[in-house]
Chains A and B, each alone.
Chain A
């Protein structure tokens, strides 16, 4: 029988205006908690974290708890989504001094499968990079050769002495919770493009390091390719590496590279670097 038909209700509000939603207040206390959870699971994660947490104690408890995020994660039926749901259930962090469940930030930031490097092609100038200028320093120019898949066909260009730039990624800040990082189920894929101006040889170095919370180096990849010679048809090379057996404790990725020319010319004839990427993936096996 209609159990809800006899439920006591607050005074009926008049029918709403013909707009997209009623102006009058809706008394959500009428909904059982598990259905409030279903309603909130359709709200974007950033709104849940930024606004819904601030509404009242009850909503804060739901946003800071685990159940809501497991409901949201369960909607991703892809292979990666199912793997992540399993990891979220089995790797959940214990409730330590009432900190919000880290799955919330994971759902908001969606760090899996996307490039965590910011401003990879210089489309924002030198923003987001720590830079060291050598010679006439770094500049940003248009690509001379098309780089496949790059969000912008621009690159960072070096000069007649080593130019260096670096970016350090805070994996927890990106939403990757510690138990996931330590699960042995993720891999970190690194990629970079470097190239030359046709009329000048150049040199390039890459160093990617995995660091723990104390900035101790747990793993690293170093690329020291041969220089590109002068008269090179605007050659462009791809460097890649996958860290697949991630040691426990990895919390930061440090990405840095260097470039310079081989001719010692004033101006910007050195190595051109672009489309740097660090992508975290989940093992599906």
Chain B
């Protein structure tokens, strides 16, 4: 017997809440879809509860999103195209944000993984190394001044510097 998209499935989050979900929403997670197909049809609640928490709410909101076109490279590259709803959704404490990344990765929900990782990446942009360390509590274990000079020299080649020719050289 096949599960239709209008059937429902009870899902339990690690917080103990039980969500009654359209199978259509649940199938957005590739992992769960695979699991459902492997298991065939079962009564609700027989299988182990799948922890979902906020990942569930995200998927509910985005359930009618069309799948992204194959060639939409620009959309993937940009980090400033996080929708207002998603931005509000992601205003959570750091623990929850990281749980969302892990959940999205585990459940293979690509859209959520993209938007959560982009929002953390946005915290890196426009910061100096010292500010980045402060934001993420990272200890500076790089070599000291002698190593630092080497690093600056390496980075000069990394920056867009015109050091082959000066402004206008008379031959």
Instruction: Tell me the chain B residues, 115-167 only, with Cβ under 8 Å from chain A.
Output: 117-129, 132-142, 151, 154-155, 157-160, 162, 164-165, 167
Residue contact A55 to B138, C-beta cutoff 8 Å: yes
- Interface residues on chain A, number (Cβ under 8 Å): 69
Residue contact A31 to B168, C-beta cutoff 8 Å: no
Residue contact B102 to A12, C-beta cutoff 8 Å: no
A-binding residues in B (CB < 8 A): 14, 48-49, 51, 70-73, 76-77, 79, 87, 91-95, 97-99, 101-103, 105-106, 113-114, 117-129, 132-142, 151, 154-155, 157-160, 162, 164-165, 167-171
Q: Write out the residue numbers on chain B whose beta carbons fall within 8 Å of the beta carbon of A164.
A: 171
Residue contact A5 to B140, C-beta cutoff 8 Å: no
A54 beta carbon closer than 8 Å to chain B: yes
Q: A26-B123, A53-B151 known; A13 and B93 CB under 8 Å?
A: yes
Q: A38-B113, A126-B168 known; A56 and B133 CB under 8 Å?
A: yes
- Residue of A27, A43, A109 touching B124 (CB-CB under 8 A): A43
Residue contact A15 to B141, C-beta cutoff 8 Å: no
Q: Write out the residue numbers on chain A whose beta carbons fall within 8 Å of the beta carbon of B97.
A: 26
Look across to chain B and name the residue whose beta carbon is closest to the beta carbon of A129: B168
Residue contact B125 to A43, C-beta cutoff 8 Å: yes
A283 beta carbon closer than 8 Å to chain B: no
Q: Write out the residue numbers on chain A whose beta carbons fall within 8 Å of the beta carbon of B160.
A: 46, 109
Q: Write out the residue numbers on chain B whose beta carbons fall within 8 Å of the beta carbon of A31.
A: 98, 101-102
The complex places the Cα of A127 from the Cα of B162 at a distance, in Å, of 11
Residue contact B79 to A42, C-beta cutoff 8 Å: yes
Shortest Cβ-Cβ A-B pairs, 6 listed: A42-B121, A2-B51, A25-B137, A54-B129, A2-B14, A126-B168
The complex places the Cα of A87 from the Cα of B142 at a distance, in Å, of 32
